[in-house]
A and B are shown apart, each in its own frame.
Chain A
């Protein structure tokens, strides 16, 4: 007689395997809910894990670039303030030059004008050597040390270089750090190259010298002052445009941050509602299989004999 029967050992080992499988998936679900992370080992979902790594990198670099953008905005604002100050100085200097060009002024008045112009010149020099928050010169390009130096004879020369350098503020976007001293303070007058400090020096010298030629000498510098003011205004516009660009980049960064966080959450976060529902389902299945195991395994013929 041949019979098909399940051996007792096979029944027990199969039941155990089934219940162990349910318990393992319960533990997985519980870990996912407790940590909020769907993936805690790369092999659970290799593609998603790689995506998470990339998003993580984008996020870290994005944070740094945001910091960089904030610092750049600060530097650009500082530079714009200094350039604005220089523009005020030049406007006042032009007023003084025009007033001094009338012949009716006495020597005392002219001396007073010369005095004020000298003070303005000092302020101009200070502003040209303005520093960033971290103590770097604003207008020296990538060179260190002061942007402009004054020798014993009072001649001011540019000490920096023509390279402004750029700051990465977004993937693939670098914004130039600022403007160089040469761009802000040097210009051509009637075909000859000169700078704001030379024009200022000539004006002060004219008033200090005095005499009948003062008016003409002062008037002669008006062109220079106009050219200096033009240059300044142009650079103010450049700095303003760049600051606006940084703001646009910052807005983009904020949006990208949100998008990255969203993607990250989609790829790597546990869907709590889904996980809890599946947990409940698995729990029910485990409880049911435990109960049925207990009942079926207590059914033995030995109870009957």
Chain B
């Protein structure tokens, strides 16, 4: 019997030591965001046997089960979905915020108003050479501003595109990684610490994937993940140990499209969807900016063509080009500006044509109003997306906190465990000592 007592004590001490190790592991990983708290499963060990008519139970102590990893599929799912939505809105916000800054800081609206103001000033004295030169310079500044706005918008788009390209590579790495982890999970032994750490890595890869793409995930009984795109069509991203190839391509207008193994897909959420949407908005802004530049060019050149310049010659176009990227001042001297209608003599101070141009630039459908509408639309959109992001941030943080609560390490609990397990280890040691003493008592019988 004493030998059984020693064995019981030894098994208890072993469990206490193994639990202590896991507690130490938990404490060491307290600040590791991908780590899920581990506990040790254990079960009582009882041997029963019947020989002849004598049945006997033999107490065997405790058996170490396996490493149990805290985790909740539901909370994981919530956290993943929340982060998909947040990343999408985040990427979209970055894109349109950059565009907003680009268009506002190029001071396009102010330049158009300056041009209009210069024209109105010229109307007070259309033959004044100084005013003509000032007006011409203000037209030059306007052309430069259009090009600046176009370049800033292009920069914002370039930034978004290189971001998208880099993240595509990162996403593919995550997909490949998850496929490898799936293969390892199948091979890992149940209840082993290795499997727990593979599951940690699996959840990390899944989080990385769902930040970029909204996905639906199904798990095999052992924990291997099968990942499908949440979008149209619902293509398979990772199945078992096979990862699909995710690619992105840019169209001529800068918009992005995605494909999985060559099949074109349209993701519902995630950073990729947000970036694609931002690029679309930027292409749309580009079209509107070009339309405004075209409007300025057309109305200025039409006014020039409808009258005569200071010298009495038929007016030449004020601007060359047709859109924001190529608008340029075409006149070389202020005297070439047309203020008087066709048929007027040289040096006429008639301002009919000038008045028409001022109306065309400044009225309710003119470029100034259109720029204002463009900026108002853009900033309203940005403000809307900002508000949406604030809401999603709260949702995502709540899901994250919930996840940490379920799976994270609480140092106070671990400290209490440390004390408890230490006592348990000491108690088991004491059991062995008692067994030895009992044995010695038997041996010492005279």
Inter-chain contacts of B378 with A (CB < 8 A): 42-43
Chain A residue with the shortest CB-CB distance to B344: A142
Bound CA–CA A142/B409 (angstroms): 88
Cβ-based interface call for A54 (8 A): yes
Bound CA–CA A60/B107 (angstroms): 14
8 Å CB interface, A65-94 against B: 65, 67-68, 71-72
Bound CA–CA A60/B116 (angstroms): 9
Cβ-based interface call for A192 (8 A): no
Cβ-based interface call for B28 (8 A): no
Inter-chain contacts of A153 with B (CB < 8 A): none
Bound CA–CA A136/B344 (angstroms): 17
| A67→B410 contact, CB < 8 A | no
Inter-chain contacts of A42 with B (CB < 8 A): 100, 104, 375-376, 378-379, 382
Inter-chain contacts of A50 with B (CB < 8 A): 372, 375-376, 379
Cβ-based interface call for A17 (8 A): yes
| B117→A61 contact, CB < 8 A | yes
Chain A residue with the shortest CB-CB distance to B349: A142
| A68→B401 contact, CB < 8 A | no
| A13→B404 contact, CB < 8 A | yes
Whether A64 touches B121, Cβ cut-off 8 Å, given contacts A9-B408, A301-B411, is yes
Smallest beta-carbon distance A51→chain B, Å: 10
| A46→B347 contact, CB < 8 A | no
| B410→A60 contact, CB < 8 A | no
Bound CA–CA A68/B114 (angstroms): 15
| B128→A46 contact, CB < 8 A | no
Cβ-based interface call for B350 (8 A): yes
Bound CA–CA A136/B349 (angstroms): 9
Cβ-based interface call for B120 (8 A): yes
Cβ-based interface call for A56 (8 A): yes
Interface size of A by CB at 8 A reads 49
| B400→A13 contact, CB < 8 A | yes
| A43→B383 contact, CB < 8 A | yes
Pick the interface stretch among A111-119, A163-171, A197-205, A243-251.
A163-171
| A14→B113 contact, CB < 8 A | no
8 Å CB interface, A179-229 against B: none
8 Å CB interface, A1-38 against B: 3-10, 12-14, 17
Inter-chain contacts of B89 with A (CB < 8 A): none
Cross-interface CB contact of B117 among A7, A63, A163, cutoff 8 Å: A63
Smallest beta-carbon distance B40→chain A, Å: 15
Bound CA–CA A41/B125 (angstroms): 38
Q: Is the interface of B mostly helix, strand, loop or mixed?
A: helix
| B415→A64 contact, CB < 8 A | no
| A71→B124 contact, CB < 8 A | yes
| A165→B401 contact, CB < 8 A | no
Bound CA–CA A14/B393 (angstroms): 12
Inter-chain contacts of B407 with A (CB < 8 A): 7
Whether A43 touches B379, Cβ cut-off 8 Å, given contacts A9-B30, A53-B109, A64-B120, is yes
Whether A68 touches B375, Cβ cut-off 8 Å, given contacts A7-B404, A9-B33, is no
8 Å CB interface, A274-305 against B: 300-302, 304-305
Bound CA–CA A300/B383 (angstroms): 42
Cross-interface CB contact of A61 among B120, B124, B401, B419, cutoff 8 Å: B120
Cβ-based interface call for A155 (8 A): no
Cβ-based interface call for B162 (8 A): no
Cβ-based interface call for B348 (8 A): yes
Inter-chain contacts of B249 with A (CB < 8 A): none
Cβ-based interface call for A144 (8 A): yes
Inter-chain contacts of A167 with B (CB < 8 A): 123-124
Cβ-based interface call for B316 (8 A): no
Cross-interface CB contact of A43 among B97, B124, B347, B415, cutoff 8 Å: B97
Bound CA–CA A142/B381 (angstroms): 49
Inter-chain contacts of B113 with A (CB < 8 A): 56-57, 60-61
| B124→A67 contact, CB < 8 A | yes
Whether A61 touches B379, Cβ cut-off 8 Å, given contacts A42-B104, A300-B411, is no
Smallest beta-carbon distance B101→chain A, Å: 7
Cβ-based interface call for A49 (8 A): yes
| A300→B345 contact, CB < 8 A | no
Bound CA–CA A115/B378 (angstroms): 77
Cross-interface CB contact of B376 among A12, A49, A165, A304, cutoff 8 Å: A49
Smallest beta-carbon distance B422→chain A, Å: 9
Bound CA–CA A68/B121 (angstroms): 7
Inter-chain contacts of B346 with A (CB < 8 A): 144
Cβ-based interface call for B412 (8 A): yes
Chain A residue with the shortest CB-CB distance to B373: A50
| B104→A8 contact, CB < 8 A | no
Bound CA–CA A253/B401 (angstroms): 60
B contacts, CB < 8 Å to A: 30-31, 33, 37, 97, 100-101, 104, 109-110, 113-114, 116-117, 120-121, 123-125, 127-128, 340, 344-351, 358, 368, 372, 375-376, 378-383, 386, 397, 400-401, 404-405, 407-413, 415-416, 418-419
9 closest A-B pairs (Cβ-Cβ)? Answer: A7-B408, A144-B347, A42-B379, A43-B382, A301-B415, A10-B404, A68-B124, A46-B379, A46-B380
Q: A5-B412, A9-B404, A302-B411 are in contact. List 8 more A-B contacts (CB 8 A).
A: A4-B405, A7-B410, A44-B383, A49-B376, A71-B124, A143-B345, A143-B347, A167-B123
